[in-house]
């Protein structure tokens, strides 16, 4: 996502280098969405995967968030006819003949999930997609969806400072055999320790409008991150590696998807796989950042209406 929008300006050349290097390092899941850069990110990913790299990865993209020329305007659609149109458009932008994992990005409150899943089932039968995913879906929605067609993955925000999925969603995924994909595992960059001031953001960086990055919330959250930084320093790793190791310690069925525009941070993130973290260290991190420890909502009030749908 950050390669095309939301986190300041990126370089297409470096972004493609990052994707190529990720594949060299063994990263096998590439995650995009049609709304990232209003299609630009899918085109970027398609370009990066050309030349024989397509079959080396599981390619995931998403549909369902509607964009207009106004960057602040959002709509949601899970209407069957829209699902099929969106899939065809994504296939064209990506330059591929099938999508491995196709997510509903946000649940449409005005379309029964059974109708949306029915359309996705037809796309599987047509060979256009291999597996179906949901993003930010509520437990009952997930159960209803599974009655129509298997759900392979649930993608929801999960990190040291967004631990809500531990209450219902992760246990439900384990009950139903669904992989849990943790997006924003580094707290939108906050858990890296690199963000020291609200002034660190570019003018078009959406984080400056996020409640956790504003005013008193920012200062309270910085104090929490300082404790993570201290623990990382003691272990001789970076804060981001420690935060990723914490997620990885929760089981192989939980897959974090850290995003970056830069080779340096990609290589740091992949090295988190080599960080040994003990049960005692996991518990220490749990005490530093217990459930609901982060100050402020993970989205604005308007945006929160679209999550856990």
CA distance 224 to 154: 28
Torsion over CA: 241, 246, 252, 257 (sign) = negative
CB 178 within 8 A of CB 153: yes
SS3 assignment, position 142? helix
CB 52 within 8 A of CB 298: no
CA distance 31 to 61: 6
Closest CA to 77 of 97, 58, 89, 62: 62
**299 included as an active-site residue:** no
140 burial class (0-12, 13-18, 19+ CB within 10 angstroms)? exposed
Active-site residue, selected from the candidate residues 36, 103, 158, 183 = 36
Burial 286-303 (b: 16+ CB within 10 A, else e): eebbeeebbbbebbeeeb
Query: How far are the Cα atoms of 72, 268, 282 from residue 168, in angstroms, in the given order?
Result: 31, 31, 20
Query: How far are the Cα atoms of 243, 255, 264, 270, 276 from residue 232, in angstroms, in the given order?
Result: 9, 21, 18, 16, 12
Structure-token pair, residue 267: 């290589």
Structure-token pair, residue 235: 């272990």
SS3 assignment, position 151? coil
Question: Which sequence positions are flagged as catalytic?
Answer: 36
């Amino acid at each position: 996502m950050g390669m095309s929008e939301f986190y300041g300006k990126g370089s297409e050349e470096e972004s493609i280098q990052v994707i190529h290097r990720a594949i060299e390092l063994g990263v096998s899941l590439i995650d995009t969405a049609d709304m990232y850069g209003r299609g630009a990110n899918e085109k970027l990913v398609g370009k990066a995967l050309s030349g024989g790299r397509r079959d080396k990865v599981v390619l995931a993209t998403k549909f369902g968030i509607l964009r207009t020329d106004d960057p602040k305007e959002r709509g949601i659609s899970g209407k069957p006819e829209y699902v099929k149109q969106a899939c065809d458009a994504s296939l064209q932008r990506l330059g591929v003949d099938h999508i491995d994992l196709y997510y509903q990005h946000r649940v449409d409150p005005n379309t029964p999930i059974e109708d949306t899943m029915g359309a996705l089932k037809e796309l599987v039968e047509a060979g256009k997609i291999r597996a179906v995913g949901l993003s930010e879906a509520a437990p009952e929605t997930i159960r209803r969806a599974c009655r129509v067609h298997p759900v392979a993955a649930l993608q929801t925000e999960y990190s040291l400072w967004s631990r809500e999925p531990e209450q219902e969603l992760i246990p439900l995924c384990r009950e139903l055999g669904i992989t849990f994909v943790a997006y924003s595992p580094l707290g939108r960059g906050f858990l890296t320790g690199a963000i020291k001031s609200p002034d660190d953001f570019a003018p078009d960086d959406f984080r400056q409008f996020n409640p956790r990055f504003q005013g008193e919330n920012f200062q309270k959250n910085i104090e929490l991150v300082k404790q993570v930084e201290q623990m990382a320093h003691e272990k001789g790793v970076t804060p981001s590696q420690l935060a990723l190791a914490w997620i990885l310690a929760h089981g192989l069925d939980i897959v974090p998807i850290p995003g970056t525009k830069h080779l340096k941070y990609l290589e740091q993130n992949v090295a988190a796989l080599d960080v040994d973290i003990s049960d005692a260290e996991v518990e220490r991190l749990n005490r530093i950042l217990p459930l609901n420890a982060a100050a402020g909502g993970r989205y604005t009030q308007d945006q929160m209406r679209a999550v856990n749908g």
